[in-house]
Structure 1
Amino acid sequence: MESFECNICQDEGGMVALGEDGTEYWRSCECAERKRIKRLMQFSQITEEFQKKMFGNFNLEGRPPLVAQAFEVARSYVLDFQKARCTPQNSIALLGRPGCGKTHLLMAVSNNLLSRGIEVLYFPWVEGFNGIKDDLSKMEEKVHRLRECEVLYIDDMFKGRGKPTDFQLEQLFGIVNHRYLEKKPLLISSEKTIAQICEIDEGIGSRINEMCRDYRVTLSGGIELNYRLK
């Protein structure tokens, strides 16, 4: 006896159904959406460990008010996403001190969007550019995907001891500018403030500032913000 992952549609992704007027039509099965979300998660580059990062397991107990503010802004962004996604201010940036939970919160945003069938591509700054430079034959393909995916999450932007290279800045400007013009959402975490990003490249910083105007928190302060040191 043949076995199927879905016994309802027998892995066809849907079935023929009858409308009220007796005409036949194709009705998608619930399993099709589940499989699509699974594929989106696989293509997102988000690791299994990061797939566990949600709002529900973000610990706010004893955390400074700015961290609570970042939590609320990230959650509001998810709730408002469908309304804001086609507007010029459709992006979110969590900036400032390391160890504040910026990555966790934007992973929670990403995982929520993915669970709703919205494509998110994760691009960790250091590893992402290392991956591009390691195989320049696929650079055009990789950069094209960074420009065109529904939602792009750039994590730890400008992380590193030295200044970003001309190659990194050229590619980043092209990605940010394309998404700015096409109103494609960005999720950005960085230890740099908007002013510091503008010092590196004003064209990049000003576009990110405008895109993230409605959903931006700068976590400024001392070492008390770093939960890893508690």
Structure 2
Amino acid sequence: MKAESYLKNFDKICSDRENSFGLFGQPGAGKTHLIVAIGAALLNREPNPVTVVYMPYLEAIKELKANALDHEYYIRIVSKYQEAKLLIIDDLFKDKIKKGEVVGELTETDIKHIYPIINYRYINKLPTLISTECTPDMLLELDEALAGRILETCGDNMVIFSGPKYNFRMRKFKK
């Protein structure tokens, strides 16, 4: 329901502060599937397709860290994520969560690479689709400034999956 409403109202809310969409919580709930489907629907819509950039969090952060000393290339990568008409951030903070618990903290280096992307999009009111195993409370525990920007831009456009009943991937293996 929320995904359909988001798609239906995308053009109306695109320049609003609450223009993003977040799927939070339980692994196996189909969060990635849903945000990619929303992105694909906007990319393929007629008329007025939306340019979509997909950012797999772990791989993107590794690439940014590996290229931090190549300033020109680094800026090109960051700019691609900052300026996308619609950005999909998949599995945000995946390396910080295990079995529904925060197991790591955001390092200065982590924040150095993700904060400029999220902050730029926040300041410029650019919509972002986010999937994460974090709950809103976990995001706040990791970093209040980032969490505030993410949660504020999602507003009511979020779904929180909690509990094993939402692990659709494992249903056939559990009795």
Q: TM-score, normalised by structure 2?
A: 0.85
Aligned match of 2:16 in 73, 76, 87? 87
Greater Cα offset, 155-164 or 211-220: 155-164
Corresponding residue number in structure 2 for 1:133: 65
Deviations 1:138-163 (A, max 9, x none): 21110111111101111000001533
Say which one has the larger Rg: 1
Corresponding residue number in structure 2 for 1:215: 157
5 Å-filtered alignment, 1:128-207, equals 128-136=60-68, 137=70, 138-161=73-96, 162-207=104-149
For residues 64 and 118 of structure 2, the distance between their equivalents in structure 1, rounded to whole angstroms, comes to 17
Classify the secondary structure of the residue corresponding to 2:95. coil
For residues 106 and 76 of structure 2, the distance between their equivalents in structure 1, rounded to whole angstroms, comes to 22
Amino acid at match of 2:64: I
For residues 74 and 167 of structure 1, the distance between their equivalents in structure 2, rounded to whole angstroms, comes to 33
Given the alignment of the two structures, is residue 102 of structure 1 paired with residue 35 of structure 2, yes or no? no
Per-residue deviation, 1:96: 0.4
Corresponding residue number in structure 2 for 1:226: 167
For residues 138 and 85 of structure 2, the distance between their equivalents in structure 1, rounded to whole angstroms, comes to 27
For residues 150 and 67 of structure 2, the distance between their equivalents in structure 1, rounded to whole angstroms, comes to 28
Deviations 1:168-191 (A, max 9, x none): 212222111111111100110001
Amino acid at match of 1:229: M
Q: CA RMSD in A?
A: 1.3
Number of residues of Structure 1 aligned to a counterpart in Structure 2: 158
Aligned match of 1:118 in 47, 50, 59? 50
Where do 5+ consecutive residues of structure 2 fail to align? 97-103
Corresponding residue number in structure 1 for 2:6: 77
Classify the secondary structure of the residue corresponding to 2:119. helix
